[in-house]
Chain A
């Protein structure tokens, strides 16, 4: 008996020592992850870092490390409370009560509270493109107590929470320190105090942005998933370098000077595959190639002419011309990708991808097209835009349409397409991740964005969006989305030719990197 006790004691002791060693090993491994400077190479620079004062989404992509939202999207685009602890929506959709997480530290050492959120929200409402969508329906924001806030609407605005976390064109609402909001007002902020895992250190325009770890960061207790949940800052420092030349970004990753490079030439994919120090990162969903009509100019002021172009184009051939390797593109008629809760699987049935030049000619006749040249306005710096425009010109000329191709640099394209005349078709890349169908309202409807669409059909579309705006029931909103997609493919003020992915690369020593629609570097570490 005593011997058995002894054996049991020894076994227990060994197990205890073993588990202690294991725990120590895990902790040591976790500890090993900390440290290092990550150098990332981005293609474009930005004018400043104030997301409320620009629609350039690169600002949010970088400043997501510094600022956080009340809500963030996870990997499956589920809206998740982040700086918010919980929330309640009134039955009529007019009141949203948000409870904030307590003990969240700002980079100035103070605790984030309702005053910071309210000050940031008011600025967002006034300046931000997303805030301006919300403002016409909004009534007021009230402080219930230090960590509870009430948002009140004058009219129901169903997409409110999704827009607060939207990654589109800097629409996302982020929490800034109240003192900074008071100091800068509507001016561009150049002193950045947020709650994120990294804090602002240095900004050299056109050269680099340096962020350093925020030691007092208070992570969310939720499971980490893309932008939502727990964020751990393993890296001491993150340097975003702005490198316009793609080949230099590639060379930088090859030599180890950069650990990540955004948007590199897709035709070099096999080279990167063969290099054991480099990992390819292909993001799907990423971009969609959008053909936009000038709906104010004949012949495209007539929906039959617009439909005709969809029938006249061989989308698959366009895919090869625009992007090349089919692993980087896929045909997709819906505005939301497969897996997105708003995806409509049968969108554009009967017209999308139906290559029928004869039908196209019939429709053009029906529209009364008189043979005047069609002007395609496109960018010359981006492969998709340039190659796409040339391929569309070829295909349209095959059915007897006289096409004038106008390829310009970006500033010229941006200026020309903003005019009501002088162009008929414009090709533009759109970000595919759109977390709420209401966001399409920004470019879909009467005289929205550049489409110059002003007709009975556009007003019907406005009605659909107005319905969607008021409807707070998710299922009913989806039904409205189906109607919207159906209407869109019937009236075709613009259409999605295909979805495509950009190619990013990273060094193999950068571990646990998650490829998302906007690159982020928390929860990743350098081995």
Chain B
């Protein structure tokens, strides 16, 4: 097992390297000139040339690539062209609200998704099952930008329960900072819950047909024990896979939700960076998401062994 983990961690290096190379060339070859965006509409050619020189953008692409690669190996992602600050510093600052939202959404999504899935499976072909399927279908189908605006309209504009936008760090506002994060988290959780509910339902239905469940029933075990101890644990493998993969999707979802609710997280930062062609920030954002994706996949794979002792990694 230990060897497997080390091997997987070592595999991170070439994966990140490939992502880095792709990120560098895509961002540098895409149309749009960051210097002209920074300088504004009426910038003169001499101003453009001066800024290009000071940002090192007048150097040949291949030279910039090797310099950049050498720097990121040292952990230096360069300076943001727009924010005049080191990218790693900017990324670290923006990580907290994103993680808050992502974890809140994940907890809400897993809890409600599992609950809906179990209810649907144990009430197969009954009203609760239909209700659960319909709700999860909504969760999967509704685009997050639309849902975000609708939640804002109902809970912020009409009911006045939450602010429409903004963010206050926990260190300054304490639990008050959650007021800003609940609607974004619910938006993201809705999709998560839908997927988890559907997966839990189908896995549970399969499991509930197994011989050992029939044996458990004939032994006279209570329904609660059968469902939660025997069926649920054995249904968790595909559910965990969905949860893991969707956490990465959820991080992508924060890009939209953070932009709508103006939460200064990594997603909002990345969208702004794309709009301004802040190349170092875009590159760091891509690498960040790739790292998260690979690490989550590793955890998902490791959790299989925990859930099913028959699975062994070599």
Interface residues of A, Cβ cutoff 8 Å to B: 45, 47-48, 54-57, 129, 132, 169-170, 188, 204-207, 241-245, 247-248, 251-252, 254-255, 257, 408-412, 414-416, 418, 428, 442-443, 449
Contact = CB atoms under 8 A, between A and B. Distances in A.
B198 to A, nearest CB: 30
Nearest to B33: A415
A414 B36 contact: yes
A242 B277 CA distance: 18
B307 interface: no
Given A205-B85, A411-B32, 18 more contacts: A129-B44, A132-B44, A169-B40, A206-B264, A206-B268, A244-B259, A244-B262, A248-B152, A248-B261, A252-B165, A255-B163, A255-B164, A257-B166, A410-B32, A410-B37, A412-B31, A418-B48, A443-B42
B149 A247 contact: yes
B31 A408 contact: yes
A449 B269 CA distance: 31
A408 B277 CA distance: 13
Contact of A248 (B37, B47, B262, B276): B262
14 contacts: A45-B272, A188-B84, A206-B268, A241-B262, A243-B165, A245-B259, A245-B262, A248-B260, A248-B262, A257-B163, A411-B32, A412-B31, A414-B33, A442-B42
Nearest to A247: B149
A410 B262 contact: no
Contacts of A252: 164-165
B94 to A, nearest CB: 9
A255 B156 contact: yes
A56 B40 contact: yes
B298 to A, nearest CB: 32
A55 B275 CA distance: 18
A212 B237 CA distance: 56
A404 to B, nearest CB: 16
A204 B157 contact: no
A359 B165 CA distance: 54
Nearest to B260: A245
B41 interface: yes
B83 interface: yes
A335 B34 CA distance: 30
A170 B153 CA distance: 37
Most buried by A among B36, B41, B277: B41
Given A251-B157, A252-B164, A257-B163, A411 B39 contact: no
Contacts of B165: 241, 243, 248, 251-252, 257
B300 to A, nearest CB: 33
B32 A54 contact: no
Interface in B157-198: 157, 160, 163-167
Contact of B39 (A55, A255, A412): A55
Contacts of B167: 207
A497 B120 CA distance: 61
B100 interface: no
